Amino acid sequence: MVEINPKTKQLIDKHTKSLTEEFYKGNTTALLKIIEDEELNLHINNYEDHFDGMLVWDQTQFHIHLNEAKGNLPTTKRGRFTLAHELGHYFIEPHRQGLKRGLISPHPSNLSLIHSERIEKEADKFAASLLMPQEKLRDFTGGREFSLEIIKEISNEFQVSLTSAVIRFAEIGTHEVLAVFSSKNQVKWFCKSDDFPYLEFKFDVGGELPPTTVAGEFYRKKDSRYTVVELVDIEDWFYWKEGAPEYQMYEQCFYSDLYEFTISLIWFE
């Protein structure tokens, strides 16, 4: 898996913090104000199924292209992430200079849960930090019990997709959480908070979900009941070991239209 250099992460956090302190409306980052301030050219057109967004240098100016055919408008949650991603390519110095010098060819960006290219992952990190600043997100979610409702509130307050909200909350949120992304009963990916208890998973990426989990039952029974918070046994998801947390474990599932994945949230209280 491609990892972002810690120094690059620090630079992204520093840059996005500066932008979100200047361009905002409540907790929502004012992306169009950033576009205007940087005098960037924004083009919103129908590019069929070719890409979500693209940053282009024409030897004199930068242009951001958004594909409205795939739902990328500055007013939609998908479009806001795409626009923030392209701003990442513009503001991250090696990306911008690479485009200007011809070292990086203009390339179409597509929304993806897992990017294999470093520059795409860096632009995703920039987008998440720009749209969901750490201090604002932690202030917004702190002091409450965790559940999918908090993720929904983040989605609406910061105008981001539920999937983006889950990943960002796992990264910098106020409660430890594990999120498992699956499709057709197969685990596709997972992310977790740094402070989530260290436990051995009963699943592998590419393998089937453990059958007794809420997510596993969701696929087997196709029952909407599994979207509610369920009290589960630690051994549904993990191999028990000495010193494992003794407090209650919960699981809640929901379906992501953006990536067509079922996302299972697991946490302790």
Q: Please give the Cα distance from 146 to 136 (Å, whole number).
A: 17
Binning pLDDT at 50, 70 and 90, where does residue 223 land?
Answer: low
- Indicate the Cα dihedral angle 32, 35, 36, 40, nearest 10°: -140
Provide mean pLDDT across the span 22-34.
Answer: 97
Nearest to 202 by CA among 242, 163, 239: 239
Q: How confident is the model at residue 134, as a pLDDT?
A: 96
Where are any strands of DSSP class E within 12-114?
A: 24-25, 28-29, 41-45, 53-57, 62-67
Q: Please give the Cα distance from 245 to 240 (Å, whole number).
A: 10
Yes or no: say if 133 and 16 are a contact pair by the CB < 8 Å rule: yes
For residue 224, is pLDDT > 70? no
Global pTM reads: 0.92
Percent of the chain with pLDDT over 90: 76
For residue 203, is pLDDT > 90? yes
* Residue the block writes with tokens 């977790």: 192
Tell me what the pLDDT averaged over the chain comes to: 91
Residue 42 β-bridge partners: 64
Q: How confident is the model at residue 1, as a pLDDT?
A: 61
**Structure token digits, residue 24:** 């905002």
**Structure token digits, residue 34:** 């950033």
Binning pLDDT at 50, 70 and 90, where does residue 92 land?
Answer: very high
pLDDT tens-digit readout, 48-84 = 988 999 999 999 999 999 999 999 999 999 999 999 9
Q: How confident is the model at residue 199, as a pLDDT?
A: 92
Q: How confident is the model at residue 222, as a pLDDT?
A: 64
